[in-house]
Amino acid sequence: MRNLVIGIVILIILAGGYLLVRGSYQKPAADGGAVTTTPSPTPTPSPTPAPTPAPSTQNQTAADTATITYSSSVFSPSSVTVKSGGKIVWKNSSTMQVQIATDPHPTHTGNRELSGNLFTLDLQPGEQEEVTMTTKGTFGYHNHLSSGQRGTVIVE
């Protein structure tokens, strides 16, 4: 009987810990007052993504700097070409957080220069960040919070 009670208590603790980690995060209130609890978005599990097709490079010339804007759940433009040593400016014009990550999802083992050498480059609404691209090639990226939102960076 005692072992059964101990087992149930352990299960309750584990379930509570899981729900705490997966269910919410704390976000400071906009007025600087009390902390509010907001449900965190639950990433949708996805199968291994198909390779990103190489975008057409017709009329695309390599730039020193390219800006990619996230708004309305879309990256725009979805494909850019920069010179090696060039910059990508990530800009969040949406009302939601975006987590920029290199493909493949969810491991992000591709060229992490895209995300400032981080697992994800987190941008709150209105924020922007600049990263430098030195490795030549074609690299896919996505929003880690919604992995179907994708794009491509070509470094020449």
Is there a domain that residue 150 lies in? yes
pLDDT of residue 10: 76
Is there a domain that residue 35 lies in? no
Mean pLDDT confidence for 129-148: 96
Is there a domain that residue 67 lies in? yes
Give the structural domain span for 80.
63-155
Which segments within 40-136 are labelled E, that is strand?
A: 63-71, 74-76, 79-92, 98-102, 121-123, 128-133
Is there a domain that residue 111 lies in? yes
Is there a domain that residue 151 lies in? yes
pLDDT band at 24 (very low <50, low <70, confident <90, very high): very low
Task: Give Cα 128 to chain centroid, integer Å.
Answer: 13
* CATH code, domain with 126: 2.60.40.420
Specify the DSSP class assigned to residue 105: T
pTM, whole model, 2 decimals? 0.61
Look at the chain and report how many structural domains it folds into. 1
Preceding peptide of 53 cis, ω within 30°: no
pLDDT band at 15 (very low <50, low <70, confident <90, very high): low
pLDDT band at 61 (very low <50, low <70, confident <90, very high): confident
> How confident is the prediction for the chain on average, in pLDDT?
79
Both structure tokens of 70: 């996230």
More confident residue, 16 or 53: 16
Is there a domain that residue 37 lies in? no
Is there a domain that residue 85 lies in? yes
Is there a domain that residue 7 lies in? no
